[in-house]
Chain A
Amino acid sequence: MYETNYHRAGSVADAVRMLTEAEDGKFLAGGQTLLPTMKQRLAAPSDLVDITKIPDMKGIREEGNQIVIGAATPHAEVAASALVKSRLPGLATLAGGIGDPAVRHMGTIGGSIANNDPAADYPAALVGLGASVTTSKRTLAAEDFFIGMFDTALDEDEIVISVAFPAAEKSAYAKYPNPASRYAMAGVFVARHADGSVRVAVTGAGQSGVFRVDGMEDALAANWSPEAVAEMSLDSSNMLHDVHGSARYRANLVTVMAKRAVAAAG
């Protein structure tokens, strides 16, 4: 790792000021992606601004019909939250399956979505539940937040403060993890809302990151059962293909994971 300067921000305004003053600064959340990247010298920020100690960015609370999660909340806390488990069981399952226990103690929801790794789990939950992302500048719908592979709508000096998830009637997440890295080869989040609308969001499989599957959403809105999606084959032309799996393999995994997710949601 190249030398860097560490700063700890006490407030959001503090963090933005520290970053603006830095030559080539980066916000540091749990650091479970950024630090390994810096160790490989693939990133060399002059300054790191630690945003995990900012009180406004911590904790999980219920606001009306929404579950609001502070951006600096680690995955382990989301996975263990009684509130999340009762209102959005799919989200608790997803958070409890990220990386491993030690990674889940450090990694945060804000850091994960700001990085927008195409194989990260959280983007599927945000898009699948129709969440909104509040930043230091604005509030965005999840689908407007995620732009593409490792790309979001965030400006350089913009910080994710919290994510608000509308409570769903049913929700579940199923992923096929890469056996070595535990990143999703394909992860599918399904949710059915009280008005009968259904969302199916896929991570790990698409070339441009998270995406929705309209055909599956329509089929599940008409018939909420694993059988409704079991025979669907997806177009593989926009799927990732790499040493871990071909595009056709990933397309098939999406169908299998969708089936499992609907079965788990009950």
Chain B
Amino acid sequence: MSKVSMVLNGKAVSADVEDRTLLVSFIREVRQLTGTHVGCDTSQCGACVVHVDGKAVKSCTMLAAQADGAEVLTIEGLAGDSGLHPIQAAFREHHGLQCGFCTPGMVMSALDMINRHGPGNLDEQTIRHELEGNICRCTGYHNIVKAIKAASDQMAGMAQAAE
């Protein structure tokens, strides 16, 4: 057992857990944040993607202990007081989900790619390539790609308006 502490969605949390505890188990079972999903459990599907220190990672393939001292952001930390995050809103607007199981990971990967490429700098080909680690078995990806493109462009507009 070790004490693991992190800043989870802006809030300092800590718990004594077995060293083998995966980050996704810490988030879902210890912290009861069940928005982060476990799909394949073999690092293929991306349903468990969260951000650790600002970078997308598969939380089923990382120990909670590895994230000790880190800032972790999950799907629950995205929406602000004023409502859905622009990426969440775009997924709703463009029907970027059907069953919704992969959606938390898709949204977190979308935010990661927009952060890295810069808002407004994503084209369809780049988005599809960037989504290699996220599997959706319902949509055929078309509306997910559209939603991410729309969110990226909208966030570029918001960044411009803020300047």
Q: Mark A37-79, 1 if CB is under 8 A from B, else 0.
A: 0110000000010101000000000000000000000001000
Q: A4-B19, A5-B19, A106-B57 are in contact. Are A101 and B133 (CB under 8 A)?
A: yes
Q: What is the size category of the interface that chain B forms with chain A?
A: 20 to 34
The number of residue pairs between A and B whose CB atoms lie closer than 8 Å in the complex comes to: 75
A3 near B20: Cβ-Cβ < 8 Å: yes
> Which B residues touch A105, using CB under 8 A?
52, 55-57
> Which B residues touch A6, using CB under 8 A?
2, 19, 63, 65-66
Chain B, interface SS category: mixed
CA distance A189 to B97 in the complex (A): 39
B133 near A103: Cβ-Cβ < 8 Å: yes
Q: What is the size category of the interface that chain A forms with chain B?
A: 20 to 34
A31 near B62: Cβ-Cβ < 8 Å: yes
Nearest B residue (CB) for A80: B116
CB distance from A190 to the nearest CB of B (A): 23
> Of residues 72 to 104 in A, which have CB atoms within 8 Å of B's CB atoms?
76, 80, 99-103
Q: Mark B12-48, 1 if CB is under 8 A from A, else 0.
A: 0000001110100000000000000000011110100
Q: A2-B20, A3-B18, A101-B130 are in contact. Are A106 and B62 (CB under 8 A)?
A: yes
CA distance A5 to B1 in the complex (A): 8
> Of residues 134 to 181 in A, which have CB atoms within 8 Å of B's CB atoms?
180-181
CB distance from A105 to the nearest CB of B (A): 4
Q: Is B149 an interface residue (CB 8 A)?
A: no
B20 near A100: Cβ-Cβ < 8 Å: no
A100 near B133: Cβ-Cβ < 8 Å: yes
> Which B residues touch A36, using CB under 8 A?
42-43, 61
A101 near B112: Cβ-Cβ < 8 Å: yes
> Which A residues touch B57, using CB under 8 A?
102, 105-106
List 10 tightest A-B contacts by C-beta distance, closest first.
A100-B133, A6-B19, A6-B65, A105-B55, A100-B132, A1-B20, A102-B56, A102-B58, A102-B133, A35-B61
Sample 6 A-B pairs with CB under 8 A, ordered by A number: A4-B19, A5-B19, A31-B61, A101-B133, A103-B133, A105-B57
Where the two chains meet, the residues of B that have a C-beta atom closer than 8 Å to any C-beta of A are 2, 18-20, 22, 41-44, 46, 49, 52, 55-58, 61-63, 65-66, 68, 109, 112-113, 116, 130, 132-134
